[in-house]
Homo-oligomer: A and B are copies of this chain.
Amino acid sequence: MPIADRMIARVAAFAVIKDMFEEGRRLKAEFGPDNVYDFSLGNPDVPPPEEFRRILREMTAADGLDHGYAPVTGHFHVREALAGRLQEEQGIAIPPDLILMTVGAAGALNDILRALMNPGEEFVTPAPYFLGYENYAFLADVALVSAPTDARFHLDVAAIEKALTFKTRVVLINSPNNPSGAVYSPAELKALGDLLQRASARFGKRIYLVSDEPYRRIVYDVAVPAVFTAYPHSIVVNSFSKELSLAGERIGYLAVHPDADDAAQILAAAAAINSMSVVNAPGLFQQAAARVLGAAVDVSSYRRRRDLMAAALDDAGYQFTLPEGAFYLFPKSPIADDVRFTQILKEERILVSPGRAFGSPGCFRISYAVPEAVITGSREGFRRALQKAQG
């Protein structure tokens, strides 16, 4: 086999995803795009804020716009602007030198996991978890260990404690959560921070907390608490993919808590990985994003969709927890086999993702980053699928 041995299973896994995608295209071609209800993608469809579009037009119209290499860690004025914002969000001052601009949150997570972890070590993450985490584990040659959450997908700190071993280097959380929509409370974060202090002492090595927060600005009636006040040995990861609908332009960042053990060394190691992998985060868009840090996409449109989707599922008889953030619903599959249930939904021309892709079999994920007509059009299909599954 000419490709690397370790890539064979990965290529096969990607082929399965591609086949699902192709089948969606085939359905749309056969039945017309308006008659296929595609909830399978997490691609924001709300336009970027008008303020962002204006800034981008201004920047590209200016004479002498420089597209040369950016500094490895990102433009200083960009990190300075982000430091101000992070201080508001996290409640402590963060020097620009502890911020690294990255190729999206994916780039940031790849950078920090490789920076902190030796091959064979483990990171613990609550399930359900974003499916990219398995990829980042693969690239860093480390193991993903999942810990269950409670019935509302909130942190079960005792379950995390059980999952910790002498091989654990990182606990990775994602709040607001993809796929569950849970937003962890200050009390949960505090309990987690206390656990990690105790566990670091017990195992005789520092366990870091990495908080992946790309949906921070997409919340309904809750605020996302500051992980930095709950545990000093923390790294925050974020991106502009969702809050500015810039997913394809790949701008993210990470920030290391200034009181984290060896904070400067951690940033330097993450910057080294960043430089070796991608050289720098794209130059124009990091600067454009930094100029509209107060702006965000229209969250009210996501809220309307959430409520519409929740009402449809409720009417049909599905069990689910109302999401507090992000743009996903994660209902219980009416049959134990969630992959089978996604096939039943597909017979109704409804495309969703099985829960086992997120480490949580028995559920399925709906991305409601879709036009409202897709939601209303799918109501009868969801109802029939439930009846079919139960019948």
Contacts and interface: CB of A to CB of B under 8 A. Distances in A.
A106 interface: yes
A44 B269 CA distance: 27
Q: Would you list the 7 A-B pairs with minimal beta carbon distance, nearest first? A: A248-B283, A135-B276, A7-B269, A3-B269, A2-B262, A60-B60, A67-B246
Interface in A120-147: 132, 135-136, 138-139, 141
Given A139-B276, A261-B2, A275-B14, A69 B57 contact: no
Interface string A278-311: 1111111100000000000000000000000000
Contact of A249 (B6, B45, B246, B284): B284
A3 B116 contact: yes
A214 B115 CA distance: 29
Nearest to A104: B279
A222 to B, nearest CB: 26
Interface string A103-124: 1101100100011111100000
A319 interface: no
Nearest to A42: B69
Contact of A136 (B14, B135, B276): B276
28 contacts: A2-B206, A2-B208, A3-B115, A3-B265, A4-B114, A4-B117, A10-B276, A11-B268, A14-B268, A14-B275, A47-B64, A53-B60, A67-B248, A67-B249, A69-B248, A70-B248, A103-B278, A106-B278, A106-B279, A110-B276, A110-B277, A132-B276, A135-B275, A136-B276, A139-B276, A248-B280, A248-B282, A248-B283
Interface in A72-123: 103-104, 106-107, 110, 114-119
Nearest to A281: B250
Given A132-B276, A277-B278, 13 more contacts: A2-B261, A14-B272, A53-B65, A57-B57, A69-B247, A103-B103, A107-B277, A248-B283, A249-B283, A250-B281, A277-B277, A278-B278, A284-B285
Contact of A60 (B45, B56, B273): B56
A15 interface: yes
